[in-house]
């Protein structure tokens, strides 16, 4: 018996529905972390059966968002790799923060949701490539004498990651508004770079729209 042919327009429609559901979930879960799948389906403009066809449960939806965040993170790291390898450690670390901040800002609400629904281990897996890159830059900075050496690079990287997550949660809570400039400056200071030097490095590395905001 000949297998039925799945028409390309149907595939495109299915992909579009899936992307719309994920985009809606990122937005709506930010407003209400306890939003039900039925509420998300209505917000996405699809019927309940369509959403459940893609994501049979809340965990599956959050896992898809976690995978999306992981891919975005890896892409940002790949794009910034050449800069990180060619620049002194201070500038490399500031560039690293700027390259990842848009990803963190986009998925910041997912961090707390994934920790609750998927577990801390899954969040750690998503963040692992960023931690590895940060650790390598921090280790280089220690050798260059620009970052303090009283903590192992791995421990300092974990601490700076926790600080970044806390600052992202401050954005969630309306306590902080940032394009990455303040966070990059604060993280450099935490590595042992003097404040004025940190501001100068961030100003030099910042993407065009962010320049001139280090004193904000």
What is the CATH code for 58-210? 1.10.357.10
| CATH code of domain 1-56 | 1.10.10
| 113 has pLDDT over 50 | yes
- Quick one: pLDDT at residue 75? 93
Per domain, the residue ranges of the chain are 1-56, 58-210
Mean pLDDT of 155-164: 93
What b-and-e string marks burial along 139-159, b requiring 16 or more CB atoms within 10 Å of the CB?
Answer: bbbbeeebbeeebebeebbbe
Q: Per-residue pLDDT tens for 161-207?
A: 999 988 988 888 889 999 999 999 999 999 999 999 999 999 999 98
Contact 53, 61 (CB under 8 A): no
The token duo for 44 is 């996405």
Positive or negative: CA dihedral 207, 169, 117, 35: negative
- Please identify which residue in the block is written with the tokens 């404040």: 195
* Residue 181 buriedness (CB in 10 A; 0-12 / 13-18 / 19+): buried
Q: What is the DSSP string of 20-80?
A: HHHHHHHHHHHH-TT--HHHHHHHHT--HHHHHHH-SSHHHHHHHHHHHHHHHHHHHHHHH
Q: Is 209 a residue whose pLDDT tops 90?
A: no
């Amino acid at each position: 018996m000949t297998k039925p042919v799945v028409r390309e327009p149907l595939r495109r429609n299915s992909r579009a529905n899936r992307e719309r559901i994920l985009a809606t979930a990122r937005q709506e879960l930010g407003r209400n972390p306890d939003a039900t799948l039925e509420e998300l389906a209505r917000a996405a403009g699809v019927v309940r059966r369509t959403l459940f066809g893609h994501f049979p449960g809340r965990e599956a939806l959050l896992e898809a968002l976690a995978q999306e965040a992981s891919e975005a993170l890896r892409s940002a790291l790949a794009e910034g790799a050449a800069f990180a390898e060619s620049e002194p450690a201070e500038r490399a670390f500031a560039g690293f923060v700027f390259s990842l901040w848009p990803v963190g800002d986009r998925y910041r609400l997912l961090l707390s949701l994934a920790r609750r629904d998927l577990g801390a281990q899954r969040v750690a897996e998503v963040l692992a490539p960023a931690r590895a890159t940060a650790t390598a830059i921090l280790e280089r900075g220690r050798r260059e004498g620009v970052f303090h050496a009283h903590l192992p690079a791995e421990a300092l990287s974990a601490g700076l990651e926790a600080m970044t997550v806390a600052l992202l949660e401050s954005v969630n809570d309306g306590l902080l508004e940032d394009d990455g400039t303040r966070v990059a400056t604060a993280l450099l200071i935490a590595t042992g770079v003097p404040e004025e030097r940190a501001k100068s490095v961030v100003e030099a590395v910042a993407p065009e729209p962010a320049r001139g905001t280090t004193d904000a």
